Amino acid sequence: MFIALSTFTIANNMAEEVRAAFCNRLHLVDNSTGFLGMEVMSPIDNHDEVWLLTRWSDEQSYQSWHNSHKYDASHKGIPKGLKLVPGSAKIKLFEVFAA
């Protein structure tokens, strides 16, 4: 299994808008080849920090999604006016080797 973990921190008190956007997302990734699931979460002590974890059967499936027009379209639901803490947006890629 392969995991992509995206994290970012909201700078302008729009956590509720971001949460609503994820809850009402278009689900464009759901039928992508190799997609296994997604969780979106925030640490209990910082609701302005968002973690987006996606699970894939393999890295190639993730890369195909990440470079697709559907990936770009999935970001159109980002709330207008959203500002992030500079340098907070990161993507980490993981190979799962034991469960």
Report the CATH number at residue 90.
Answer: 3.30.70.100
Beta bridge pairs of residue 14: none
Give residue 25's pLDDT. Answer: 93
CB atoms within 10 A of CB 79: 14
Pick from 79, 63, 69: which is nearest to 23 by CA? 79
Number of domains into which the chain is organized: 1
Which structure tokens are listed for 49?
């920090």
Taking the C-alpha atoms of residue 60 and residue 1, their distance in angstroms, rounded to an integer, is: 11
Give residue 63's pLDDT. Answer: 97
pTM (2 d.p.): 0.91
Give 40's pLDDT tier (boundaries 50, 70, 90).
very high
Give residue 98's pLDDT. Answer: 95
Taking the C-alpha atoms of residue 35 and residue 15, their distance in angstroms, rounded to an integer, is: 26
Q: What is the mean pLDDT of residues 91-96?
A: 97
Domain of 22 in residue numbering reads as: 2-95
